[in-house]
Structure 1
Amino acid sequence: MTEKSPAQPLHADEAGFTTQAPRAALPQLPPLALYIHIPWCVRKCPYCDFNSHTASANLPEEEYVDALLADLEQELPAVHGRPISSIFFGGGTPSLFSAKALGRLLAGVEQCIPFASDIEITLEANPGTFEQEKFKAYRQLGINRLSIGIQSFQQSKLEALGRIHNGDEAIRAADMARNAGFDNFNLDLMHGLPDQTLDEALADLQQAIDLGPTHLSWYQLTLEPNTVFWNQPPELPEDDILWDIQEAGQALMASHGYRQYEISAYAQPGKAARHNLNYWSFGDFIGIGAGAHGKLSHPDGRILRTWKTRLPKDYLNPAKAFKAGEKLLPLDELPFEFLMNALRLTDGVEATLFSQRTGLPMDQLKEARREAEQKGLLQVEPTRLVATPRGQLFLNDLLQYFLT
């Protein structure tokens, strides 16, 4: 769930709090989640543009947990009394941290902010960091969902991606998760890998399905700026092959009961990631940790995005602030911000959610909706906001109608 930092951070005193048009009070605040970023990996992958850094021999677990809890404490005045419905440990590789460190962190978080009775707590992990006893300990802490970064089961593809595990370790990781008591876990898988054929992509996907995850994140490798692959691009499959992979892969997952609910997310019934659903439906989330982003709504209609100090050494420096910046979302950007998230969901959202989350009247979307419907990008459904299959394929084109 890690986001990219805006190019020009806008601080609260620059955001025009007193000069913007009055905002409508929100009828109710959205659900609240917590994102915790742990920025270290064993090795940085050449395709990765997330805020991750190669770990040293001795991770500063104690110091980082202290910093995370202090960071959270500074967020509390803005969310007083609101429970959190989900927690997501992202990275980096959060499973590098010991169960003892994560246990102290979770205990400290729960002392600060109430947990929903059915809270979903997800931890990202890589096969190369799996240890059976460690994962049993994680489960005993109350972590009830894993997201395992497989990417591929084929050795040549794993080597091309710079992964530290092999195919056998990936298979064992899923078995370890189940044996440790995790009956709800996601496997992260890429397609469109260097020189990948249709048969190779489907073999990867079938292997993942055979491991019985409740959720699959299946997405195409893209070349992102500021990565090794951007500067030294590998040979990727032709567009026709990529299209064939996409169509055949979706059909394969559907035949095994995995329903697509978001552009790159597929789940068994009732197993969609609640943390991600909150994110895509423009819910609120606190972000703590190096480079973490957050989004918080206020009863008076203000909606702020925040981002934290990016480099771990700076985040751990007591002389530096945790928060690097914040931006008040202008009223004229709210339609785009809301729909940029909501239209990724294959079922879209109830149209009334737009006003609930933004405080703006539905009439504000009327003309843009009509134009997008005429172009076949938005479904003609008065009570819902839903992209057509074509609209999901060309989501950037669809969103242009809602830019002001």
Structure 2
Amino acid sequence: MPRSIAIRPAGQGAQVPRAATPGAPGASLLTSLPPLSVYVHVPWCVRKCPYCDFNSHTAPGELPEDRYLQALTADLDQSLPQVWGRKVISVFIGGGTPSLLSAATLDAMLALLRSRLPLLPDAEITMEANPGTVEAGRFADYAASGVNRISLGIQSFDDASLQALGRIHDGHAARAAIAIAQRHFERVNLDLMFALPGQTVAGCLADVEAALSFGTEHLSIYHLTLEPNTVFAKYPPPLPDDDAAFEMQDRIEARLARAGYEHYEVSAYARPGGRCRHNLNYWEFGDYLGIGPGAHGKLSFHDRIVREARVRNPQSWMDALLAPVPGVSHLAESRDVGPEELPFEFMLNALRLTDGVPASSFPERTGLSLAVIAKRLAQAVDRGLLDEDPTRLRATELGRRFLNDLQGLFL
């Protein structure tokens, strides 16, 4: 999913982006700022999965939770000037495996966020968890601390598939984790994957049926891809061919539609009222402050939009914040997004939504006129990739099938 961050104040080792000159060609001037979310990255896992290209690291014998919290506090404090006074609509604690954290550390993390940021009373607070690390007592404590949505990395219910994916849990543990989560959280999401090594269409649909049997409000279902710099990229496993993968996707969509789930984003399905508000803010080109090692963020100002990324290595990130060395920052990147980049950045997210977004949201979120992309919009409509409705930016069914081609028109 997208990730992004904030700026370190001047004098603390980060380069402060220059503001666009009002009235200059291509200057982005926002009349209002979009909703703000917060992403917190927990970098450790019990074991690195062979398909994973996220910033995750095998946990040491004992997690350095106290030092991590101290660094997280410093990271947030240095970012506060960039978001001061802005209300937070959602928090997402991702990883890695956040459910490795003790209940006390999670409670302290949420207390930290509440003490420094104006979280809305109904803010969605999501935490990722893996079945192999689920404990009933810890889940009860997470809920008591304020987590109100849990996202479980199930991936499959089939033991052979889970073993091929390098997961540390089996099907029984997956089912047990869901049952525990449903006892403590009203809002539960299940992550599944398809087109797995050796998987058949029947095996894929069996996973979907197993997930549906729990009646959760949200399912995220991802096509397994071989990402660069992963074990699977170096040693590719035997995967279903394209025809089988397409059939799996078609039958997943049809089955979930019959079960009452709305296919509202490329990989996301929800019952009415169950959509993930945090991820919707990403796709609608909202803002998000990202803290923690490797976290990314996007922050809007009235005269510019900034993207940042934190240093990926957990130890280096903590050292840069808690034992700073002149010239060494906890930021790996901090830059203004140029007006020539904004159309693609916006469309890369918005066109993932089945219903698209209002056409008015493009100037509202980028500061650019729709006239900037008028020719490319016309090309997309002519090719049958974009809906003809001038009031909405929405991919057609063909456009969703060839989404990369559609998005690429706005590069």
Q: TM-score, normalised by structure 1?
A: 0.95
CA contact (8 A) 2:290 2:297 kept: yes
Q: Which residue of 1 aligns with 2:329?
A: 321
Q: Which residue of 2 aligns with 1:262?
A: 265
Candidates 308, 311, 334, aligned match of 2:310 = 308
1:244-283 residue pairs with structure 2 within 5 A? 244-283=247-286
Q: Which residue of 2 aligns with 1:77?
A: 81
* Superposition deviation, residue 14 in structure 1: 7.8
Q: Which residue of 1 aligns with 2:301?
A: 298
Q: Which amino acid aligns with 2:288?
A: F
Q: State which drifts further: 389-398 or 286-295.
A: 389-398
Q: Which residue of 1 aligns with 2:154?
A: 150
Q: Which residue of 2 aligns with 1:8?
A: none
C-alpha distance in 1 between matches for 2:26 and 2:155:
47
1:209-288 residue pairs with structure 2 within 5 A? 209-288=212-291
TM-superposition CA deviations, 1:128-163 (whole Å, max 9, x none): 001001000000011000000000011100000000
Q: Which amino acid aligns with 1:376?
A: G
CA 1:2 to 1:355, structure 2 compared with 1: closer, same or farther past 3 Å? closer
Q: Which residue of 2 aligns with 1:359?
A: 367
CA 1:4 to 1:31, structure 2 compared with 1: closer, same or farther past 3 Å? closer
Q: Which residue of 1 aligns with 2:10?
A: none
TM-superposition CA deviations, 1:203-232 (whole Å, max 9, x none): 001001101111000011000000000000
CA 1:25 to 1:169, structure 2 compared with 1: closer, same or farther past 3 Å? same
CA contact (8 A) 1:2 1:50 kept: no
Between Structure 1 and Structure 2, how many residues are aligned? 396
Q: Which amino acid aligns with 2:384?
A: G
C-alpha distance in 2 between matches for 1:75 and 1:252:
44
Candidates 163, 166, 171, aligned match of 2:170 = 166
Q: Which residue of 2 aligns with 1:192?
A: 195
* Superposition deviation, residue 23 in structure 1: 2.2
1:324-339 residue pairs with structure 2 within 5 A? 324-339=332-347
Q: Does residue 64 in structure 1 map to residue 64 in structure 2? A: no
Q: Which residue of 2 aligns with 1:377?
A: 385
CA contact (8 A) 2:4 2:297 kept: no
TM-superposition CA deviations, 1:4-26 (whole Å, max 9, x none): 99xxxxx8568785697462421
Q: TM-score, normalised by structure 2?
A: 0.93
C-alpha distance in 2 between matches for 1:217 and 1:31:
23
CA 1:366 to 1:21, structure 2 compared with 1: closer, same or farther past 3 Å? closer
C-alpha distance in 2 between matches for 1:191 and 1:130:
23
C-alpha distance in 2 between matches for 1:367 and 1:86:
36
1:8-47 residue pairs with structure 2 within 5 A? 12=15, 21=25, 23-47=27-51
TM-superposition CA deviations, 1:54-93 (whole Å, max 9, x none): 0011100111011111101111111110011000001000
- Greater RCO between the two (CA within 8 Å, min separation 6)? 2
C-alpha distance in 1 between matches for 2:28 and 2:353:
26
CA contact (8 A) 2:92 2:126 kept: yes
Q: Which amino acid aligns with 2:229?
A: N
* Superposition deviation, residue 303 in structure 1: 0.2
Q: Does residue 393 in structure 1 map to residue 401 in structure 2? A: yes
* Superposition deviation, residue 183 in structure 1: 1.1
1:339-354 residue pairs with structure 2 within 5 A? 339-354=347-362
* Superposition deviation, residue 2 in structure 1: 5.6
Runs (5+) with no aligned partner, structure 2: 6-13
- Determine helix, strand or coil for the equivalent of 2:62: coil
- Determine helix, strand or coil for the equivalent of 2:112: helix
Runs (5+) with no aligned partner, structure 1: 6-10
CA contact (8 A) 2:21 2:27 kept: no
C-alpha distance in 2 between matches for 1:12 and 1:287:
17
- Determine helix, strand or coil for the equivalent of 2:355: coil
Q: Which amino acid aligns with 2:109?
A: L
Candidates 80, 103, 107, aligned match of 1:103 = 107
CA 1:61 to 1:2, structure 2 compared with 1: closer, same or farther past 3 Å? farther
Q: Which amino acid aligns with 2:371?
A: D
- Determine helix, strand or coil for the equivalent of 1:331: coil
Q: Does residue 132 in structure 1 map to residue 136 in structure 2? A: yes
Q: Which residue of 2 aligns with 1:175?
A: 179
TM-superposition CA deviations, 1:107-135 (whole Å, max 9, x none): 11111110112100000000000100100
* Superposition deviation, residue 189 in structure 1: 0.2
